[in-house]
Amino acid sequence: MSSLEGKIILITGGLGTLGSSAIRLFLKQGATIAASDRKALQEHPAVEAAVEPYGKERFQYFQADVTDEAQVQELAEEIGRRFGALHGLYHNVYVNVAKPLLELTLEQWEDSMRGSLTSAFLVCKYMLPLMIRSGGGSIVNTSSIIGQVPLNNYLAYGTAKAGMNQFTRLVAKDYASQGIRANVLVPGDFKSDEFLESPPDSFREMMGNITLLGRSARADEINEVASFLLSDASSYVTASLYSADGGFRL
């Protein structure tokens, strides 16, 4: 298990399956967490209950739309005021439009780009100065196997995630001298614990056919990789794409 002791980490998309699991895991590993999502924390009582024992010193929630520049700028300023530092960014926001080119509208294309790629641009742009002032840190942008493997009907989403991959590597190159590491986490299919307790037989069969491990990941399995990339254990890792896909491409 990685140690995040003493790290202040922002998790975007904090109320999604991956983000809410990361909140729980990273708190257990010693991190102080700032989490953001479009929704109110009160809409997710399970997350609210999980963070309550840690108090406001270890967990702060910010309702924000990270596709909106003004809201991201305000989020960065508020994190700076409340914590005074930022050592890690775990970005988990996307918009998935599953349509082929001739069925895709311009609005859907732009929504996918804004949700999956522009959000990464905005969050990195406004969090980087605080991370640099904090002595450096680690960025982990969550991509997808669809950003590397062309699957039917995922033109907009796959293009946005491929763009995120290169965007992250270029951030790593531009800011390495200022103590910034930036990596891409490339998960395969993952599901909530509730789903994985009793998945449909058809789903089990499909995953058996397309992954070496024959199943979907639990969210915490993906987040353990993110934890490693955010921790000092990965101090020589940057500009890399880390896959956690159960052997999907083999």
Whether residue 157 lies in the annotated active site:
yes
Q: How many whole angstroms from its chain centre is CA 195? A: 20
**Within 10 Å of residue 233's Cβ, how many Cβ atoms?**
14
Cβ neighbours of residue 146 closer than 8 Å, sequence gap 6 or more: 154, 157, 158, 161
| Token representation of residue 205 | 């069969």
DSSP code, position 16: S
Cβ atoms 24, 49 nearer than 8 A: no
**Within 10 Å of residue 38's Cβ, how many Cβ atoms?**
14
State the catalytic residue, choosing from 154, 157, 236, 242.
157
What is the rounded CA–CA span in Å between residue 162 and residue 160? 5
Secondary structure (3-state) at 63: strand
Q: In 3D, which of 144, 25, 150, 22 has the Cα closest to residue 89?
A: 22
Q: Which residues pair with 9 in a beta bridge?
A: 33, 88
Indicate the angle between helix axes 155-175 and 106-113, nearest 10 degrees.
30
Q: Which H or E run includes 207? A: helix 201-210
**Active site members:** 157
